[in-house]
Structure 1
Amino acid sequence: MLVVERRRAQEVNSGRPAGARVSPTSRIISRCSEAVIPLLWAACLVWLVPLRTAFEFNSCEGYELMKGLLFSLGYRQAPELWNDQPPLHTLLLEVLFRLWGPSAYAARLLQVVFSSLLLWCLFRLVHMQVGWFGAAAAVVLLVVCPVFIPLSVGVILELPAMAVGMASVLAWQYYSRSRTIRWAVLSGALMGWALQIKLTAGLWVVPLVVDWAAGCWSKHRGDPSGTATGAGGGADPNPVEPGKGAGWCEASGSAALRAHCCAGLGWLVACGLAFGMVATLCTERFDVFVQSHFSAGTLAAGSAAAFTPRSLLEWPELVVASGAGLALLGSGAGRRLALSAVALCAVLLLVHLAHRPFWPYYMLHFAIALAWLGGLGLGECVRGLRGSGSNHSLVNWLAIGARCLALSVSASLLMLHGPHRVIAVLQQVRSARAIASNPAVTFMRQYRDRTHWVFTDRVIYAFHISAPVPPELAVVPGKRVWSGQITSADILSALARYRPEQIALFGPLGGEPELLLEPQLLAFIQSNYFRLPDAPTPGLYLLRSAWGQP
């Protein structure tokens, strides 16, 4: 009985008439057409953005690239390598660098793959819920967000974590429709891996928990498929064997509830195993993560960097479209569709209003959640218009007017702001300075043959000449300084131990000018290093002993 009801639920969720079959050819065409979206997006980024030649797309690129380089050189288990983030993305970079050498181009292509995965997961998720129009709208709404394209090409952890997190949500939706536990297990494994890219992926557990809880509630009420099969309209509560009343639904609903709970348990086990599997490959120190993110110094220094909800008004098309999605909560048929996306948006607001500091790339969280909710809202508007022709009541005409208004306003705002915003963002990333035109990189490459180590406050310079930075000094962001996990004495100790052949200083290390102004550190540099008169910047030093200088 459960198998029959499961098939019926799949037909209901797919929007096809009961008993209708999809031909293999139609299914193949549908899947191929869906694959066009990520492939086309990846091709556009590779064609339009100077992935191979750009020096830097964001200030975090250098840290991620240098960690990958050090991992490829055998420093994966080195306790002296400071890292407050999970290691999975760095492990992927290690594989790339071992195969093709240290290449920013290879790392950026990996970022493009994650960006394409995110778009495909968003499209597929919304398409399963409201159809093609809503899915296409969700993708467009995300692409026009100014935060999306820069994070799609710059090597930074946030987008890969969100992409794998969305893949976990999509796999869970496959489980919700097929009742096949392997999808729940895959969803859990994907979430475990997403958390091993960056722990902010844990925000994407919210829609999973909400959907699981909603499924438990529907099955507790005697609906084994998760759809309202026995409600309203005088329908018989037992649609498979009419006339037997609700007892069958209660019994099968109880069995379905147990199966649903087992799927949730399988999700947890798979998530834990996937997370632990990565943890065995690399040394992880969660005390470093906690101290760098939640120490008193970090909270005090980052108190001014706060999220303001007003900033979301800079994306008016997203706000209007997500408002249409929010309206689904008032619809009995659409409530389950929007519940997970609405819960995600609410949790994002609460978390980011409370958490300090709020980094600009966190806006990606809102872009994805609002695009999901907006796609649901616009897709449901179109579906509602298609199915409202035979109803001539006043309420129905008001609903038609509201749907038309939401669609027209969203489309107008999208056409007004979207193209200009995308063009401006593309011009920004295309204008990134080329590696070949950077005089400091050219100068440092002249002395690469005798260089084993480089100390620099901009580690991407060292990466572009394929020279490692001492592990203790490879990652020195502001939060490491604020939390007291590095001092001038630590820097002096590392320099004395490694004696890097080149030093390249371009600005305040970790955003703190005084970190490199300690007298003993300055004296060490002056006594052991010299500057060439033709150096393009005064902060470039060479080790005296390496070049035979007294």
Structure 2
Amino acid sequence: HSLLTALVIFGLLTVVVKGYWEAVIPLTWLVASIVFLVKHYPIWSHHYLFIFTPMAWLASYSMTGVLDFYQRRDWRKHLKRLNFPEFILPLISTLLLVYGVSKFPFSIPTFPENAQQAIAIEVLKKHKGANQWVFVDEPIIAFSANLLVPPEVAVLSSKRLASGSISFHDIPPILARYQPQQILLSRFVGRALSNDSLKTYLEKYYSRNSLDAPQEEKVNFAHYVLKN
């Protein structure tokens, strides 16, 4: 973020020096977004797009200054004469851009991301039966195990829980409707098992699965299998 902010600053300086007054559009966008988000709660990661998009737009003006400078035939003369106003902004912008590219995480994240997720997928596959329905609080695990998740809980996120659009009190009726073969709680295991209605339902209709000792040491999730 600090790198982007620096590029925005040099972009604004380029706007002033070169007179790119159309930059008032992203600048207005940025100011309006900040004013809007100051009083907005809660702030989630996707809200930052309202700020980062106009910031990237403004930062691009610093690159415009770089291109304009190096496309000139006499740019070497300004360097030799140390013509400070002419080359300092393009030079700093170039250095920031090179540094930013060198720090960019080009590696693509893979799944599973950790040992717990890998073990969770393995456990779901091991207990897969004719009933393909499972309830998990991290649906990507069910997807990786090639199992089905009830549509009502296909997106069970902290945002939905925080907003009240769903709660663990709503889960038992969904479980009763689909009767999933397996239940695996990992992300919200503590919150889920502290809900009395869900805990009672699990104790009545499901058996908690005990993992192997090596697996037990690496994970923090609860796995249940439907009783016969």
* Higher percent of residues as helix: 1
Residue 378 (structure 1) aligns with: 63
**Among candidates 327, 333, 337, match of residue 16 of structure 2:** 327
SS at match of 1:315: helix
CA distance in 2, matches of 1:458, 1:486: 15
Q: CA shift at 1:515, angstroms?
A: 4.3
Q: Does 1:408 align with 2:91?
A: yes
Residue 518 (structure 1) aligns with: 195
Cα deviation, 1:398-421, whole Å, max 9, x if unaligned, reads xx74341111111223334541x2
8 A Cα contact 2:8 2:56, kept in partner:
no
TM-score (norm 1): 0.34
CA distance in 2, matches of 1:521, 1:431: 29
Residue 42 (structure 2) aligns with: 357
**Structure 2: gaps spanning 5 or more residues:** 75-82
- The verdict on how the C-alpha distance between 1:364 and 1:385 changes in structure 2, with shifts beyond 3 A counting, is same
Q: Does 1:346 align with 2:31?
A: yes
Q: CA shift at 1:449, angstroms?
A: 3.6
Residue 529 (structure 1) aligns with: 206
Q: Which structure carries more relative contact order (alpha carbon 8 Å, separation 6+)? A: 1
Residue 80 (structure 2) aligns with: none
The total of aligned residue pairs comes to 214
**Structure 1: gaps spanning 5 or more residues:** 1-311, 390-399, 546-550
Residue 161 (structure 1) aligns with: none
- The verdict on how the C-alpha distance between 1:496 and 1:368 changes in structure 2, with shifts beyond 3 A counting, is same
Cα deviation, 1:127-172, whole Å, max 9, x if unaligned, reads xxxxxxxxxxxxxxxxxxxxxxxxxxxxxxxxxxxxxxxxxxxxxx
CA distance in 1, matches of 2:47, 2:85: 32
Cα deviation, 1:251-289, whole Å, max 9, x if unaligned, reads xxxxxxxxxxxxxxxxxxxxxxxxxxxxxxxxxxxxxxx
TM-score (norm 2): 0.75
8 A Cα contact 2:192 2:198, kept in partner:
no
Residue 473 (structure 1) aligns with: 153
CA distance in 1, matches of 2:112, 2:181: 29
8 A Cα contact 1:454 1:462, kept in partner:
yes
Residue 79 (structure 2) aligns with: none
Q: CA shift at 1:502, angstroms?
A: 0.5
CA distance in 2, matches of 1:426, 1:355: 33
State the identity %.
23
SS at match of 1:541: strand
Q: CA shift at 1:340, angstroms?
A: 2.2
CA distance in 1, matches of 2:93, 2:136: 48
Q: CA shift at 1:380, angstroms?
A: 4.3
- The verdict on how the C-alpha distance between 1:507 and 1:318 changes in structure 2, with shifts beyond 3 A counting, is same
Q: CA shift at 1:366, angstroms?
A: 3.6
* Higher percent of residues as strand: 2
CA distance in 1, matches of 2:57, 2:64: 11
CA distance in 2, matches of 1:426, 1:358: 27
Cα deviation, 1:457-497, whole Å, max 9, x if unaligned, reads 11111111222222222223233223333234321111122
Residue 188 (structure 1) aligns with: none
